[in-house]
Amino acid sequence: MKNYILIFFFILLSSSNLFASIEIEKVEYYIDTDPGFGKGTNVTFVKPINDILLDFNVDLKSINHGYHTLYIRAKDSKDVWSLCYSTPFFKTKSTTIDIFPQLTKTEYFVDNDPGFGNGTSIKTDYTSTNQSIDYNIDIKSLKDGLHFLYIRSLDAYGKWSFKYIRPFYKAKTTPIDNPPFIVKAEYYIDVDPGFGKASNVLLENESNDMLINLLANINEIDSGFHMLYIRTMDSNGKWSSDLCRPFYKVDSSLDIPSNITKAEYYFDEDPGFGKGKNILIENISDNLLIDFNADIDNIDIGFHILYIRALDTNAKWSFNYNRQFYKTDISYFDAQPEIVKAEYYLDTDPGFGKGNVISITGKAHVNKQFIVNLKDINNGLHVLYFRVKDKLGNWCITHSHPFFKTNQSLIDEVPSIVQLEYCFDNNCDVGQGVNISITSGNTLETNFFVKVNDLGLGDHTLFVRVKDVNGAWSNLNTIEFVSTPMSLMDAILILHCLADIKFPNGLEFAYEELQNIISDGSLDMKDAIKAIRFLSKNNWKLHGI
């Protein structure tokens, strides 16, 4: 009989560096009935800490068999208790709970329970005591609206599991071979001003799906919690549902961030502030992007958690950033078995070794391009799955990739490109760039000059995009470059190469003669024209000017 249950518990007492000094002092739990604050069963952990991930055993010896509820809470250094985290559980009488029987049947039903064994059967490979199911549910006969999906399994002892429940919404859908483009995006904070009246979001291009990066203006809102809402409108004038994100605006007195002076990391258990392993910081600033190698030589093989935090000039520590990882036996990678088989399938798993074969050559690593046969599937959304097997008979985790199949005629008839434009930096509204004359066609390869005279010195980005005959713009292609002053000798060499200028007395003589034309040692277009005129008057031959 199991007398203990293992609990994973995460506590976060605050969400701002304003509270970095508040630490968790106590964690306790109780079952069913609250004995009062501070009177629950104590949970031990390493102090000090301001957020915590706990795993601990709960003693079940003194409670009866049946349903119960476990409650957990924490107290901080200011004697403030957190809300209770609760989780229901069932204590069983079974003496064979450690020997889990195999599953023999899985079924589902929607909304109404038809009775045990009367649901829709799910075909799967019943060779284990637990299973992860990827299955398509038939909802054709359901009405549009909210429904509930229930799933349960039967084991070899004839015992049914609890029902797994998942709500879903069925909406009216029609196949869309040419989904409309998104033509407008807007956002607002807290209160909806009405469709089309919110703050506009600049769209780099028009497409039927979009990833938007925006800087929301929060200057006019008060400090505290707020909700950011974003929505889009398509070419048919239809608005999307609002996407919302909560955020917290800190007091304006904190607008001047402090520089980060130290960063450290540790694994699993907190050694205390300043006692972690130091991370070298190359440049001190108020934000930090760290790329470093964590030393894992002294930790065991298995799951671990990496924690990272930083200290600023005000001696305030950040919250811990954490990332779970798995350390494996490195000797495995020294002699990886060859991959001997690769296969793919669409939507439904036919079983290991029964997918469509991908031709490969046996190697420990395979980089393979292959063609997927889509003739037998309908237009619409599908998922491509592929996996490989090594010579020891081990299959890798199945990799998945969703895709949308559309009419073949749309692929055969690629629209012609009719317009090309470029722009610099942030001046890149669609259709407002500098137009380049091109010959229309399904593909485009061209060279052209860009005008950089009006750009200041420093870093710049060149953006280029094209528009097809249907009015759809491509994604932006970008080139980053640096505008710097041109030296006098560089200018003479460029004039010599581009204009085929013949310097009878050599380039050094030309440098001395032209030095009087340029006063600051750098060359602009006016100086270049003066230089060319000077060379012409001195009977130096110019070709191509």
109/75 same-domain check: no
Contact 135, 123 (CB under 8 A): no
Answer left, alpha or beta for residue 544, where phi above 0 means left and psi between -120 and 50 means alpha.
Answer: left
What is the domain-level CATH number for residue 231?
Answer: 2.60.40
Written as one string, the DSSP assignment of 421-439 is: EEEETT---TT-SEEE---
Output the CA angle 458-459-462, nearest 5 degrees. Answer: 130
In angstroms, the CA 366 to CA 360 distance is 8
405/426 same-domain check: no
- Looking at the domain assignment, is residue 97 inside a domain? no
8/86 same-domain check: yes
pLDDT at residue 527, as a whole number? 56
In angstroms, the CA 375 to CA 381 distance is 14
- Looking at the domain assignment, is residue 544 inside a domain? no
Contact 429, 376 (CB under 8 A): no
216/246 same-domain check: yes
Contact 453, 467 (CB under 8 A): no
| Domain span holding position 232 | 182-254
pLDDT at residue 499, as a whole number? 45
In the numeric block, which tokens belong to residue 427?
Answer: 């001046």
- Looking at the domain assignment, is residue 98 inside a domain? no
393 by Cβ neighbours in 10 Å (0-12 / 13-18 / 19+) ranks as exposed
Q: Could you tell me where the beta strands, DSSP code E, fall in 235-338? A: 243-249, 260-267, 277-279, 302-312, 321-327
H-state helical runs in 338-377: none
115/63 same-domain check: no
324/367 same-domain check: no
287/219 same-domain check: no
Domain count along the chain: 7
- Looking at the domain assignment, is residue 349 inside a domain? yes
pLDDT at residue 495, as a whole number? 54
Count of alpha carbons within 13 angstroms of residue 92, beta-carbon side: 9
- Looking at the domain assignment, is residue 545 inside a domain? no
In the numeric block, which tokens belong to residue 334?
Answer: 């020294």
Sign of the Cα torsion 180, 184, 189, 192 reads negative
Last residue of a domain, one of 254, 274, 306: 254
Residue 140 CA, distance from chain mean position: 34
- Please report how the helices 488-499 and 507-514 are oriented relative to each other, as an axis angle in degrees rounded to 10: 120
In the numeric block, which tokens belong to residue 503?
Answer: 């310097």
437/387 same-domain check: no
Last residue of a domain, one of 203, 237, 254: 254
28/87 same-domain check: yes
Return averaged pLDDT per consecutive 10 residues of the chain, 545 residues in all: 45 38 81 91 76 76 84 84 79 56 86 91 70 78 86 85 82 68 91 92 77 83 86 88 82 64 91 92 75 87 88 84 77 68 91 90 74 85 87 83 69 76 79 86 79 76 86 79 62 51 48 51 52 52 38
Which residue's entry shows tokens 């070419």? 235
- Summarize pLDDT for 112-145 with one digit per residue, the tens: 999 999 999 887 766 665 667 777 888 888 888 8
- Summarize pLDDT for 196-243 with one digit per residue, the tens: 999 998 887 777 777 777 788 888 888 888 889 999 998 888 898 888
Sign of the Cα torsion 365, 371, 377, 382 reads positive
> Which residues lie below 8 Å from residue 520, measured CB to CB, with a gap of 6+?
none
In the numeric block, which tokens belong to residue 351?
Answer: 């079983």
Sign of the Cα torsion 200, 205, 206, 210 reads negative
Contact 398, 387 (CB under 8 A): yes
What strands, in cross-sheet order, belong to the sheet with 243-249?
199-201, 182-189, 224-234, 243-249
- Looking at the domain assignment, is residue 398 inside a domain? yes
**Identity (one letter) of the amino acid at 510?**
A
**Identity (one letter) of the amino acid at 46?**
V
12/86 same-domain check: yes
- DSSP-assigned letter for residue 295: -
Last residue of a domain, one of 170, 191, 216: 170
What strands, in cross-sheet order, belong to the sheet with 103-110?
120-121, 103-110, 145-155, 164-170
Closest of 54, 24, 59 to residue 40, by C-alpha: 59
125/53 same-domain check: no
pTM, to two decimals: 0.25
Cβ neighbour number for residue 309 with a 10 Å cutoff: 22
- Looking at the domain assignment, is residue 177 inside a domain? no
pLDDT at residue 11, as a whole number? 44
In angstroms, the CA 152 to CA 196 distance is 47
Closest of 396, 400, 388 to residue 363, by C-alpha: 388
pLDDT at residue 542, as a whole number? 38
pLDDT at residue 524, as a whole number? 52
83/19 same-domain check: yes
- Looking at the domain assignment, is residue 132 inside a domain? yes
At 105, phi and psi to the nearest 5? -160, 145
